[in-house]
Chain A
C-alpha cells in the first residue's frame, strides 16, 4: 500500500493563479481531510469528506474548493491564489466506518506552496 499520496511536493504560484493539489489514498478509507500548517498556528482543517459525494467545510475554507467523486481521491482547488495561502498543505485519511480505528489519521507527505 502506498498509503496517502500528494502531488506536487512543491509549488510556486503567482497571485491570482489557480491550481489543484492532488490527494489519493489506497486504504479504502471513508474519511479524508485537508489541513494547512503555518508556523505558530498548528494544523488547521480546511475541508473534509466522510465519503464519496459528501464534503463539508472546516475551520478555514475560504479560497478553497473540494470535491470527492471517488473514495480514493480528494483534490483541493485554490480558486485564485493569494500570498496568505502560502503554507504547507497536508491531506489525511481515516477509516471512518469502513473498519479499523476510525480515530487514527494517516497523513500524506505534504505540499509546500508559495504564492508570490
Chain B
C-alpha cells in the first residue's frame, strides 16, 4: 500500500519563501507528483520527480530524496495568487494509472 503525509495548513507572507513537505511510503517507487488546486477548481500539474535532487521551474522547485521517502515543494517570491492547496501524489508500482494523493496542504499567503 501507499501512505502520504503532508501538513494540513501553512501561512506565509507575500514575497517570502515557503517549503511544503511531503513524506511517503510506497511498495515500489515510480515517481512523485505535485499538483496545485485553487479553491473550487480542479488540480493542475506542477512537477514530477523520479530522481533524487532539486528540479527548478521558475518560482517553484521540487526536491526528492528516495532513500528518505521525502519530498518538498519550494515556492519563492510568494504572490497572493499562490494561495491554494498543494497536493503530493505517488503512482503505484505498476504504473501511472493508479495514483494515491495526499490530503493536501492549504497555503494561505498574507500581505
Contacts and interface: CB of A to CB of B under 8 A. Distances in A.
A94 B44 CA distance: 12
A108 B42 contact: yes
Interface string A25-47: 00000010101000011111100
Interface stretch (A14-22, A63-71, A76-84, A95-103): A95-103
A75 interface: no
B60 interface: no
B107 interface: no
Contact of B87 (A43, A50, A102): A43
Nearest to B40: A110
Contacts, number: 55
Size class of the B contact interface (CB-based, 8 Å) = 20 to 34
A42 B102 CA distance: 6
A94 B48 CA distance: 14
B43 A43 contact: yes
Interface of A: 31, 33, 35, 40-45, 48, 50, 58-59, 90, 94, 96, 101-110
Shortest 6 CB-CB distances between A and B: which pairs?
A: A107-B42, A42-B103, A43-B101, A104-B45, A42-B101, A103-B96
Interface of B: 31, 33, 35, 41-45, 48, 87, 89, 91, 95-104
